[in-house]
Structure 1
């Protein structure tokens, strides 16, 4: 799938609390933590001059006290010179991220519990993974709760504890993987792969054929895991940001 085909699917799979449009530009806002749901996705031409559109985006995020952030995707950003326009305005480049795709083929695992909603044990590990940032955890839990059906939430229990988890969103023949977490006490045991396999097997049963996921370029262990599982980089995206106004 091309970036122009897959990016709208990825946007719908991880929904922001607030969503507005400026023509082909998608404005997403929540509490400012998860970058994807707190950024403008310029996936097509705006409904006005590019400079006026940037002004409108800055006003949108400024009204909410959030950093102004653009998510620019290789092969799907309009206009093509948007990064140059943002650089002239003082935006900083960061967050190089890979969009990886692979086959939606997995193996069911009797120790991986699947549900249509995150349960309290799932939520507890996700909150713990936020390392004390309760607001960050709350935003991500809210986003997980907004994933449209059919969604699945996977939890692997070992030694009486939630050891690993993940989630997926199925949209036709595409399935997005989100929220992969492993308790630090259970790392290096292949649990993330087991959760991923269980999610992919479930998604395939729901009609998915192609899986996608986002992983930061600096996260080499995750990239190695997904690469070994048959995923490869389809394209990249990166963020351009300005701090929130006081």
Structure 2
């Protein structure tokens, strides 16, 4: 493609990722995006802090608190890159707890060969059981299937058997987003993550994507090494802050 760095800045890529992992309820607060998804994942249940909220930052923080408390959710904010530092400082001063960093990695999309992988338009029950066995299936599906062009990959040791590796792909414009990559513990270090990634890359390219992004926790060293070997580079980082519990 002639370039290896993402053509999008932090705020634009975060908006692409938000469209690919949409919450059932969303509402703008100036340039911020309030998202509520019944508590399923931080990405679908935090305010995405990009741009100007149209209010002084302390007032914007108060508005976030009111919006989430009204929905029975703990107020949270996703703070990507240096552009969110001012808002993060205000939240820190108000006692909001900080999570660990999450790395957003990007790479040009290069379709890869590999073994056949089951691709489905919706997550089966056993797909969800491997990815998030603690999640409410209806709430999880509302988020997972809401991103437009989505696909759910699964590796099964034999037809009809429970999957031993799963992942989700979504195409938004030129971008393939990869998420929910999970390999059963007893099947790790066998190349299954790479097999699933290759299948999603072929699918994404067929859908017209030219770039891929994904998120990985800073503490997940094995996954970071896997993605590094696959050519992904760090685009930016984000973290969450969570408001103090209501008295």
Same fold (TM over 0.5): yes
> For the residues of structure 1 that align with 2:91 and 2:168, how far apart are their CA atoms?
34
1:192-211 maps to which residues of 2 (within 5 A)? 192-211=193-212
Aligned residues: 238
Aligned to 2:154: 155
1:124-171 Cα deviation digits (max 9, x unpaired) = 13224434x243x553332112121x2222111214431211111112
SS in structure 2 at match of 1:81: helix
TM-score, normalised relative to structure 1: 0.90
CA contact under 8 A between 1:34 and 1:139: conserved in structure 2?
no
Aligned with 1:22 (options 21, 29, 39): 29
Distance in 1 of aligned mates of 2:72 and 2:26: 16
8 Å contact 2:65–2:243 — kept in the other structure? no
Equivalence map 1:1-246=2 (5 Å) = 1-77=8-84, 80-118=85-123, 120=124, 123-131=125-133, 133-135=134-136, 138-148=138-148, 150-160=149-159, 161=161, 162-245=163-246
1:184 deviation in Å?
Answer: 2.1
- Report the CA distance shift for 1:244/1:141 in structure 2 as closer, same or farther (over 3 A): farther
Distance 1:110 1:70 in 2: 39
For 1:37, what is the secondary structure of its paired residue? coil
Q: What is the deviation of 1:110?
A: 4.5
Unmatched 5+ stretches in structure 1: none
Per-residue CA distance 1:48-96 (angstroms, 9 max, x = gap): 222221111100111112111111111442xx42122111111111131
CA distance in 2, matches of 1:90, 1:24: 23
Shift in Å at residue 22 of structure 1? Answer: 0.9
1:244/1:64 Cα in 2 relative to 1: closer, same or farther (>3 Å)?
farther
Report how far residue 108 of structure 1 moved. 4.2
**Greater Cα shift, 54-63 or 183-192:** 183-192
Q: Could you tell me how far apart the structure 1 residues matched to 2:158 and 2:73 are? A: 41
- How far does residue 31 in structure 1 lie from its aligned partner after superposition? 1.9
TM-score (norm 2): 0.90
Q: Separation in 1 of the partners of 2:233 and 2:115?
A: 28
Q: 1:99 to 1:134 in 2, by over 3 A?
A: closer
- Specify every segment of 5 or more residues in structure 2 that has no aligned partner in the other structure, as ranges: 1-7
Name the Cα RMSD after superposition: 1.7
* Contact 2:30 2:52 survives alignment (8 Å): yes
Paired with 2:23 and 2:211, the residues of 1 have a C-alpha distance of 23
